[in-house]
Amino acid sequence: MKKPVDIAQRLEALLSAARRVRRTEGLGAVLKRAPWYFFNRLFTYQRWYIHEYELSNARLWNESDFSPMVAGYLFRVVSSNEEADALESQGLEFRSCSPYSRQKLDRGGIAFCNFLNNGLVNIAWACTTQKSMEYVKSPPLNINFANGQAAIEGVWTHPGYRGLRFNQYNLYMKHKYLLGKGYTKMYSWIEKGNGPSRRVSLKCGARECAEFSIIRILWWEFWRGNSCFLELYRKCKKKRPHL
């Protein structure tokens, strides 16, 4: 069961997202998106795919087939706030522009980051515990964390560096890292209109195992999906908080 996210945490997450957009796309993009953000708090309709990854596939892969198409990048895996503090002391910072970073790192979340010229160009998260999912916008899935399963979320690439395989490399490194930690499967959810992410995911061996849609009106949520989604669906008797 997800715990409530308090107002201060929600505000910090909103400001974090706004800072990221301002840094990468400018103040005009923040002002343009603001009305849509508030409208989506009133009403949302989205369609998604659920992708399943067999981590053992990575044993057959060559890193060079996934590496970014630019030189000089730094890839880092961060699994605690102490590690993030150490990274910041080297001029590599990501928490201020990734919502709920501190909370997720304290609860089993792992950040996979690509940096270029000391700036964050790509990030994705792996949730390895139910507690780390408390701060994630996710479908109500029953991911078996105790049996070697994990969830991918919070994937983002700087608009100026999209199409250069940073996300593809990040996904490759998640496979290698989690496989080395004893995990066997990962799950992600990709919006139907996000063609680039879907193509990268399928290229990295994902199986499109389910499809679902969500309608959200104020604090009410309505989920619909195919039979595969219903098998993964976990009904929550109490209201799930909106992040």
Q: What is the mean pLDDT of each run of 10 residues along the chain (243 residues)?
A: 56 70 74 71 84 95 95 97 96 90 95 96 96 83 90 93 96 97 95 90 90 83 70 47 36
Cα 44 from Cα 55, distance rounded (Å): 33
Neighbour tally for 53: CB within 10 Å:
25
| pTM, full prediction | 0.83
Q: Which one, of 111, 90, 103, 92, lies nearest residue 173 by Cα? A: 111
Pairing of strands 149-157, 185-191: parallel
CA dihedral of 148, 154, 157, 163, whole degrees rounded to 10? 50
CA distance 21 to 222: 29
Cα–Cα distance for residue pair 68/170, rounded to 1 Å: 9
Q: CB atoms < 10 A from the CB of 229, how many?
A: 20
> What are the tokens at 76?
């880092």
Tokens representing 183? 């995990």
The C-alpha atoms of residue 72 and residue 185 are separated, in whole angstroms, by 31
Strand runs (DSSP E) across 3-78, as ranges? 43-54, 73-78
pLDDT at 8: 67
Structural domains in the chain, sorted by start? 7-232 (3.40.630.30)
End-to-end CA distance of the chain: 14
Side-chain-facing half-sphere of 218: CA atoms under 13 Å: 0
The one-letter amino acid at 128: T
Confidence at residue 215, expressed as pLDDT on a 0 to 100 scale: 84
* Distance between CA atoms of residues 89 and 93, nearest Å: 9
Q: What are phi and psi of 139, to 5 degrees?
A: -65, 155
